[in-house]
Structure 1
């Protein structure tokens, strides 16, 4: 049974997007030769934290990376009513990261694998370049 991503709310899309992005990052770090669990967890935070994801969204906006449909799914996640709260960040950053995850979830469910890979690789490049002002 296929899920109609167009009918899902932003929180549901973010739920999947969080897991999908995490797997991409874990595979990337393992491919770089990292193997110690504590180190993997620590380094992964640079990619998957709410602050990093919010900074990536800001960079995407600066570089006009996303099309209108993709921005729509980001906004669906950002504007969704969440019953969980940000742990180590402010509400705006948390909402931005939820939007980021919703975008990833949408791309996964829509079967847009090439675009998903392109955006994730773009994210990895920018995190590794260290040019994300908000993430610091």
Structure 2
């Protein structure tokens, strides 16, 4: 398997949506966990319970629907590629359209991570927690 360094925006945009979602899933989750700790949530049991709510496909689909108005044109293109990716199977707990929206969100976070755009990731995370503020308290 040939490997090459991904070092510019064009290379990043050539990465498949499934790979971006794969990476974006972990980027999103670690940032959810980091934000919960920064908000003062303590105790592993509480942190796990709360973070599981944020990382479910149903929640991610809701977040994507909210965030899409805040995404740049480039981020939206990445998201739409992710949403339109052929998926052979999805979670048993959600329908395929919900799963596709969750995948779109994960693609955006994978894309931003590969761009090393931590400021934009933080900005989007702030929007997410602002949107769902009542659920954190």
Which range, TM-score by smaller chain?
0.7 to 0.9
Which residue number in structure 2 is paired with residue 32 of structure 1?
Answer: 39
1:58-105: per-residue Cα shift (whole Å, max 9, x none)? 1123xx211211110001111112334123111111110000000110
Q: Is 1:2 aligned to residue 5 of structure 2?
A: yes
Is 1:109 equivalent to 2:117 in the alignment? no
Which has the greater radius of gyration?
2
Aligned to 2:71: 66
Aligned 1:77-92 pairs, distance under 5 A: 77-92=82-97
1:51–1:93 contact (8 Å) kept in structure 2: yes
Matched residues in 1 for 2:13 and 2:113: separation?
A: 12
How big is the shift at 1:50? 1.0
Q: Alignment partner for residue 53 of structure 1, among 54, 60, 65?
A: 60
Structure 2 unmatched runs, 5+: none
**Pairwise CA RMSD:** 1.7
Counterpart CA distance in 2 for 1:71 and 1:28 is 24
> Does 1:19 find its partner at 2:29?
no
The residue number in structure 2 matching 1:98 is: 103
Shift of 1:43: 0.5
> Which TM-score applies when normalising by structure 2?
0.83
> Is the 1:46–1:127 Cα contact (8 Å) retained in structure 2?
no
Aligned residues: 128
Give me the whole-angstrom Cα distance separating, in 2, the residues matched to 1:59 and 1:33.
25
